[in-house]
Structure 1
């Protein structure tokens, strides 16, 4: 009964070129995840948490990278006052955080942090007929920026884990993730990301979310995560080298045994459309591995053209919500306004000092007479010779009077004795 059919789809792209932009705010990321992503030590992590807490108490929104940079500069300038309220912060720790943010910014994080932030409920939409909408994230450029890719995945998995309610063991999950070319996800991934993925894979099923990792070889996936994969589908592996033969044996050992199937031989003999499959039965019992035929997908298999992508994007209701970036008043704007108010409230003397002293000829009088008068009587910023002599005489007279009084007092005491 196979027949071709189309599927409802939405294209996403962190850079906003091949789909609707995907964004999150600095506040949603939080100091804990951000610190792990930047690989901060305990001291630097504590300083970052103090900065976030100070921003909350001051009513300063942290939406994008420039907000966080402005808040770090504010904390550095007011380190003494902030340390008294929240704990000691040091300039060295703030500098280390700023260096980490610079590295993150160079990887393209400016495209990710901002508003409007993605509502993960938009990943779980259905069309008018009740079919789930497929969301495709363009990753051709994203995989070249592993730091940015890790940032996105850390945020998304954490948001799902924290916000989705417990759903139990559903017949059909509410949301399913497919990570194609999974080895690119784990190559050079920070430990924080691998730890978070392992945590999500362990616990996210109870929230109605499924996760699939697609890769050529099971060895591409860390063992701690591979051990949580209950459903497995293995297509053909060709053993042309000793390393390939070792990979075949390793893949065969990951399947539950079936006396009727020689897994090691079957993996190398599978044809197009065949796979070795094992799934979890009722009660979580793994089904013995079976050699199965895979039904062909009803959709077209091939690359979408630029015209088709543009047409699908123009018809998507997500465009009005996410395509235009917003930049409302936040920490950067408020701190800049405070700096302007402080500069406007400086004393008149400081303003005059900044502007520079007016020429003597414009102030009235002029020439050598004004210079001589300034030398004798002084100016507003420098004392003259007469004032200096008067102060010196006063100090000498005061010293003589003090010595005379002390001699009189001491003389009276000793005479009494």
Structure 2
């Protein structure tokens, strides 16, 4: 860091540093971030920490590219694991897998540890590796379309508000009829049915689904599938309870979602991360304030979640972030500037680690001033400090054990004990396939769902139509035979006449048939228990 911190204040040079450090002297368990920077010097005797009990109050890790955000995540994650708290990390660039392996000592690590007064020893964390749909190295993570819900799906399909509302009607119909939408072909089948001659009446009472809107949704689904997205939807669906596990030795499991293979689909993976959070929110009980979180979830590249988000989507995010704290889950959003996060969400983030910002352009300067305004009043000139921070340094403020913001502290961060970089691909592959969870999720299953039911109903309808045509033809032939018999009776005289038994009508024949019985249990009837949904539009499930 440059000499941008003040040498002294009216109360004296040592006084402010000691006052800042006193704000981080917690009684309970805490995570060590590093040492205070003051007057251009690193003061290892003044420790900057985060109370463990406050990590469910959410947080923000921000800073320009290359300023050390990933290493900060690693530093926090490995200490949480050591305290028995499970962690979720999204590995977008492929450089977080090293959290599972002991770090490699070198001169730079030794120098950093000496500067901040850190007793550095190499240590890896127990880790599990996942991949969306099995694309890349990891245990496959899939979600059913029903569980994903219309709000999140509209986000990844990039539908407008009207189209999102129409997709919501499609889900409403499927939910009410107990039609599970397991994969994308199920959704396509239901959309197509609801604009068909047989299905149009099903939504008539609640506005209906226009052919034009259905066409847009179907085209979006087709394009989505052509991008390879079909692999991410289906069964077996990932049980988010897997993220809450601890290792046999009591350490928290670090779940790493490997995303390098899908990093070119940011809308998809960022929305999937939100689904994981929403699903956890549904299943976890209320616990209130706890001594340690049940899970800390790091949401990397958070700006992708909010780009192009609809009003309903943003409202759902705000509500989830606000309420999931009481279920023992902490969320850290990771991005470049606080401006990337909407104000209503930013207001929920009590713990802040702000790495360096650059002010090369007028827009950069504006973002810098906006960032400074999000911090409490401090003893630093924050505009100057934030542009002068070096790699692995940050401005920190967290919530104290009483829930009050701590003084703003420029901090030189400690070095992670785990490997700062990716593990060997062969080792990663062995870890994935050696996991007990791999066999559970490895193979996709395509069971009977909406597509098969609607296809069966279509086949039954076609069979019924064929039977009706055949019955009509038989009725015509019977009528001709009856007329012939009548004429013959007239010729034979009254005594020879008899009243032939009238053949059943075509309606009676179809109603009595097994085909009609099957058709009576059509898509328009109740096929199962209605599916209920959460505040985020995702389906509620019983484990």
TM-score range, shorter chain: 0.7 to 0.9
Q: Distance in 2 between matches of 1:280 and 1:101?
A: 44
Q: Which residue of 2 aligns with 1:122?
A: 242
> Is 1:183 aligned to 2:309, yes or no?
no
* Aligned counterpart in structure 2 of residue 18 of structure 1, from 137, 158, 174: 137
Q: 1:120 to 1:237 in 2, by over 3 A?
A: same
Q: Which moved more, 1:318-327 or 1:237-246?
A: 237-246
Q: Which runs of 5+ in 1 are unaligned?
A: 352-378, 381-417
SS in 2 for 1:332: helix
Q: Which runs of 5+ in 2 are unaligned?
A: 1-118, 471-475, 478-543
Q: How far apart are 1:84 and its partner, in Å? A: 6.5
Q: Distance in 1 between matches of 2:301 and 2:209?
A: 42
* Aligned counterpart in structure 1 of residue 148 of structure 2, from 25, 29, 37: 29
Q: Which residue of 2 aligns with 1:139?
A: 259
Q: Distance in 2 between matches of 1:309 and 1:316?
A: 11
Q: Distance in 1 between matches of 2:364 and 2:203?
A: 58
* Contact 1:176–1:210 (Cα < 8 Å) also in 2: yes
Q: 1:241 to 1:68 in 2, by over 3 A?
A: closer
Q: Distance in 2 between matches of 1:92 and 1:190?
A: 21
Q: Which residue of 1 aligns with 2:441?
A: 322
Q: How far apart are 1:310 and its partner, in Å? A: 0.5
Residues 268-293 of structure 1 deviation map (CA, whole Å, 9 limit, x = unaligned): 33334432211112342111101233
Q: Distance in 1 between matches of 2:185 and 2:219?
A: 14
SS in 2 for 1:137: strand
Superposition pairs for residues 255-404 of structure 1, below 5 Å?
Answer: 255-259=375-379, 261-347=380-466
Q: Distance in 2 between matches of 1:250 and 1:349?
A: 73
Q: How far apart are 1:126 and its partner, in Å? A: 0.8
Q: 1:219 to 1:55 in 2, by over 3 A?
A: closer
Q: Which residue of 1 aligns with 2:326?
A: 206
Q: Which moved more, 1:204-213 or 1:151-160?
A: 151-160
Q: Distance in 2 between matches of 1:256 and 1:231?
A: 12
Q: How far apart are 1:82 and its partner, in Å? A: 2.0
SS in 1 for 2:237: coil
Q: Which residue of 2 aligns with 1:95?
A: 215
Q: Which moved more, 1:198-207 or 1:216-225?
A: 216-225
Residues 165-199 of structure 1 deviation map (CA, whole Å, 9 limit, x = unaligned): 21212232111111233334444445544333332
Q: 1:50 to 1:300 in 2, by over 3 A?
A: closer
* Contact 2:156–2:268 (Cα < 8 Å) also in 1: no
Q: How far apart are 1:131 and its partner, in Å? A: 1.1
Q: Which residue of 2 aligns with 1:197?
A: 317
Q: Which moved more, 1:157-166 or 1:308-317?
A: 157-166
SS in 2 for 1:298: coil
Q: Distance in 2 between matches of 1:270 and 1:243?
A: 19
Q: Distance in 2 between matches of 1:215 and 1:327?
A: 37
| TM-score, normalised via structure 2 length | 0.58
Q: Which residue of 2 aligns with 1:111?
A: 231
SS in 1 for 2:281: helix
* Structure number with higher relative contact order (C-alpha < 8 Å, ≥ 6 residues apart): 2
> Is 1:248 aligned to 2:368, yes or no?
yes
Q: 1:235 to 1:143 in 2, by over 3 A?
A: same
Q: Distance in 2 between matches of 1:33 and 1:209?
A: 21
* Contact 1:181–1:215 (Cα < 8 Å) also in 2: yes
Residues 238-274 of structure 1 deviation map (CA, whole Å, 9 limit, x = unaligned): 4445544444333333221223x33233223333443
Q: Which residue of 2 aligns with 1:71?
A: 190
SS in 2 for 1:284: coil
Q: Which residue of 2 aligns with 1:5?
A: 123
* Contact 2:155–2:271 (Cα < 8 Å) also in 1: no
Q: 1:293 to 1:36 in 2, by over 3 A?
A: closer
| TM-score, normalised via structure 1 length | 0.74
The structure richer in helix per residue is 1
Q: 1:75 to 1:281 in 2, by over 3 A?
A: same
Q: 1:48 to 1:201 in 2, by over 3 A?
A: closer
